[in-house]
Structure 1
Amino acid sequence: MTWFKKPVSVRGTLLALLLPAGIVLMGLAWLVHGLLLDRMSWEFVETRLKDEVAFLEHQIRDSNGQLDTLQTGDYFQEVFHHAFAIHSSARTLISPESWAPLLVPLLESDEDGALRVSGADIAEAPSDILAYRKSFRVGDSSIVVIVSEDLGALKRSQAELHAWTAIVSLLLILLLVAVLWLGITLSMRPVVNLKAALKRLQDGEIARIEVKAPEEFHPLVLQLNQLLDSLDQRLERSRDALANLSHSVKTPIAAVRQILEDEDRPLTSDLRQQMASRLDDIDRQLEAEMRRSRFAGPQIGKSAYPLKQARDLLWMLGRLYPAKSFEMSTELTEERRWPIEEHDLNEVLGNLLDNAGKWSARFVELSLKEDVNGLTISVEDDGPGAPPDALPTLGTRGLRLDEQTPGHGLGLAIAREITERYGGTLNFSTGSIGGLKATVCFPGTSGGKNSENRRTRKKNGHSR
């Protein structure tokens, strides 16, 4: 049997948790109030009785033990509102007399201090009293003074005060419910606004979510807008890919079809080579557009381990180019993450390293760096490099055949396109050893100093 069913809404969950907690705390406060009230009342009455006993003692000592000269009786009751008993060897005074059955046993007792008598069943006398007894000597006479108060009247006053406290507690609980409901409603207003924005987005009235949400909802809104940007980018890439394929494949297909439909022309070796060249053009174009369609772009929550991916690529390229050496220098740790989608980082590193491996003479050097300015990837080779006037145009999208040319072509264009999608830059320059140096800079924050500098050298797929 299920005793508690989890609410299906945030408002219901908060009310189900906060309201019982508020009621329990209010009940505990009411119980503690009752206990403290009893204790404080008891101490207050005891202090008053003790003070009045001290007053009587002072009067008796001033009169040298002569009880007849004391102003007692109705005067004492009207001023102090307490019953009293004074006993000496010559006389005993008790006021009011109806309390005598309660006070006489206390006069005969030898115990001083606060005394309580409860459960008495005497006409015109209370059933529960608190008395303070003190014995002392004045000259040769032994005097006993007792002052007492009816606890029944005190308890009735306490019960009335406690009842009013309970009423106030109930009102506070109702006020707490109203405050909780108002607070939850105001706190959930951004969710209602977000829901309305999503509905407007679904209806096509807005392109992005622009809601003034609290700090806790900012990551959600950013993630949703990032998702929309990613979907738009993928849709745009798909359309561009279809347009490029339609434009680039149309001419080779028309040429092949013309050759095949011309029945008067035999398929000579030259014609076969032309057909194969056209089909190669189609294949390269398909490969280029397929690689571009896999770009993810920046996504919140997506990250990669640059050190691990770089080592895997260096190992693979060491196998692909066994006569060349690949080096890596970095201060990153194994656990360090970069806010770049794993496949995108793999494309950038792979294209730059593969291009350097093709054109290098003996070795390629990779550098991974992170500081307050951002994330930096540098790839340098000892190959022939590129003319200074051609450096600014490397990796730019121009003619389709330029992007498919082996070397500084398709791979560099893909690396530049991915870098720009992350708000970064790809620059080319002449390296310190005369070859081409490619530098990728991604915006980002520094994760601080990492562990000691690590330098890994790979040749033929093995570290050295």
Structure 2
Amino acid sequence: MSRRPDRQRAAWSLQKRLVLAFGVLLALFLGFAGLVLDQAYKESVAAAVEERLQLRIFALLSVAEPERGGFYLPELEDSRFSQIDSGLYGMILDADGNEVWRSPSALNLQMVDTPVLNAGLQIGETRYGSKRVQDLGDLVWASYGTYWENTDRAYSFVALESSAPSTAQIREFQSNLSLWFGGLAILLSVAQYLLLRWGMLPLGRLAREVAAIEGGESDSLSGHYPSELEAVTANLNILIRSERDRQGRYQSTLGDLAHSLKTPLAVMFSTLQESRHQKVVEPAHLQEMEDQLVRMDEIVSYQLRRAVRAKQGRVLGRTPVAFAPLIDKLLTVLGKVYHDKHVQFERDIPDDVVFHGEQSDLMEMMGNILDNAFKYGASRIRVKVRKDNGELMICVDDDGQGIAEKDRVHVLQRGARADTVTSGQGIGLAVVVDIVSAYGGALSVEHNAWGGARITLRFEQAV
């Protein structure tokens, strides 16, 4: 039960959200536009009716002639004035609201409150209104006040028209407007759907590529994405490569650990077997087993460090680490460890040079390299650091016997050593290689002018 809300939220995809939002906005816009157009059309129809009624009044005024307290109007140009119940009616009222003339079309028109048509009407003023009449429905009317010189009296000329035609006209417009807006809504909805489908294609392709990577059908995401997704796909590719490297390192670590422990265990087993046959434990045998245990401890420590490097993967965010203080600290510590060799060391490190990465990584790399330099060097060590065009270069020289060219690749491999006399397991440079690789750098081994070894590290770093 508790997972249903999660599934419901998951069902609202980005496309559905956009469709819903666009649909609501479209409905509000078309509804508001429809109301505005409908009101504007009603006002235009009402204005047209009023203008038409005023023209009818002027037509009555143009032909009206006073006759025995009333008015005589010959046959009018608009024949509807002469047709009973035609929907167009004419009347003339005196100042008291009494009817003095009506058109033949208004013979059946029941007007019980005609004074309202001209009550308070001023000379030259036109008044408009509407009125419901029994059997005829709603009428719209216009009343115009005038003064007739021959009779010295004020009159009101009134024209009335059935509102049915204008009402039908408005309803037809509303019906057409609904059809137009309905068609427009459908057209815009289809266009919006197609545009969303087109706009969502990169996301769909991204989902398919991620599924292909998950299924083992692909190794990485392609780089052809819109600019808004480039950062996402680039970081995903980095994470994918980091995960793949980490898995490879785990597998390599387990394999190397098993392979590295096999030899010490075999030696210990052989020593125990020999002691069993001799029925006495020789000191040499105990020393041999102790040496093998120390070796296994170093191997396990090394593999654990490699596992940590594999877990970290390639570093994405890097902080600057001051180079000179760290090197000074290492040189001081190692000088005390190898104090009996009386090693003279020098450094050439600008104060403003920094390493962009973890301090522990820099300590691990330089600690192993300097330890080898103190161990295999005779009496001199030099550390030189330079940064040029975004490349950080670190050189460590010693005055030992150096490393033969044929052994230079070999010594960088895990467990390999060029010197089998000095104690150690040949894992120091291998750790350095792992860390340098994690930072996208390179390590090289050369001879120097002293005849000893030169270890050079290179990193591409921002200027």
TM-score bin (small chain): 0.5 to 0.7
| Alpha-carbon distance in structure 2 between the residues aligned to 1:139 and 1:357 | 133
Say whether 1:396 aligns with 2:416. Answer: no
The residue aligned with 2:79 is: 74
- Whether the 8 Å contact between 1:292 and 1:414 is mirrored in structure 2 is yes
The residue aligned with 1:438 is: 456
Shift of 1:110: 2.4
The residue aligned with 1:52 is: 52
Say whether 1:227 aligns with 2:263. Answer: no
Q: What pairs with 1:12-411 in structure 2 (closer than 5 Å)?
A: 12-14=12-14, 17-18=17-18, 21=21, 24-25=24-25, 27-29=27-29, 31-49=31-49, 51-52=51-52, 55=55, 68=73, 71-74=76-79, 83=88, 85=90, 87=92, 96-97=105-106, 98=109, 105-110=116-121, 112=125, 115-117=128-130, 120-127=131-138, 129=140, 131=141, 150-151=162-163, 154-155=166-167, 157-159=169-171, 162=174, 172=185, 176=189, 190=205, 193=208, 197=212, 200-201=215-216, 206=217, 208=219, 216=229, 218=233, 222=237, 223-224=239-240, 226-246=242-262, 248-250=263-265, 252-253=267-268, 256-257=271-272, 260-261=275-276, 263=278, 267=282, 274=288, 276-296=290-310, 299=313, 302-308=315-321, 313=326, 317=330, 320-321=333-334, 329-330=351-352, 347-348=364-365, 350-352=367-369, 364=383, 366=385, 371=390, 376-381=391-396, 383-384=398-399, 387=402, 390=405, 393=408, 396-397=412-413, 400-402=416-418, 410-411=427-428
Call closer, same or farther: CA 1:397–1:362 in 2, change over 3 Å. Answer: closer
The residue aligned with 1:462 is: none
- Whether the 8 Å contact between 1:309 and 1:346 is mirrored in structure 2 is no
- Whether the 8 Å contact between 1:128 and 1:150 is mirrored in structure 2 is yes
Measured against aligned partners, the alpha-carbon deviations of 1:278-337 in whole angstroms (never above 9, x if no partner) come to: 44444443433333333327847x53434248689558637735777875644669xxx7
- Whether the 8 Å contact between 1:379 and 1:439 is mirrored in structure 2 is yes
Q: Which has the higher contact order (CA 8 A, sep 6+)?
A: 1
The residue aligned with 1:417 is: 434
The residue aligned with 1:452 is: none
Call closer, same or farther: CA 1:150–1:426 in 2, change over 3 Å. Answer: farther
- Whether the 8 Å contact between 1:26 and 1:169 is mirrored in structure 2 is no
- Whether the 8 Å contact between 1:381 and 1:431 is mirrored in structure 2 is no
| RMSD, aligned α-carbons | 5.7
Call closer, same or farther: CA 1:200–1:237 in 2, change over 3 Å. Answer: same
| Local SS of the residue matching 1:127 | strand
- Whether the 8 Å contact between 2:414 and 2:427 is mirrored in structure 1 is no
Measured against aligned partners, the alpha-carbon deviations of 1:91-142 in whole angstroms (never above 9, x if no partner) come to: 755585238568763344427467333xx4421333363x555557898897
| Alpha-carbon distance in structure 2 between the residues aligned to 1:420 and 1:123 | 100
Shift of 1:257: 3.1
* TM-score under structure 1 length normalisation: 0.63
The residue aligned with 2:69 is: none
| Local SS of the residue matching 1:412 | helix
The size of the alignment, in residue pairs, is 422
Larger radius of gyration: 2
| Alpha-carbon distance in structure 2 between the residues aligned to 1:9 and 1:424 | 45
Call closer, same or farther: CA 1:34–1:378 in 2, change over 3 Å. Answer: closer
- Whether the 8 Å contact between 2:57 and 2:157 is mirrored in structure 1 is yes
| Alpha-carbon distance in structure 2 between the residues aligned to 1:436 and 1:237 | 28
The residue aligned with 1:458 is: none
Letter aligned with residue 79 of structure 2: D
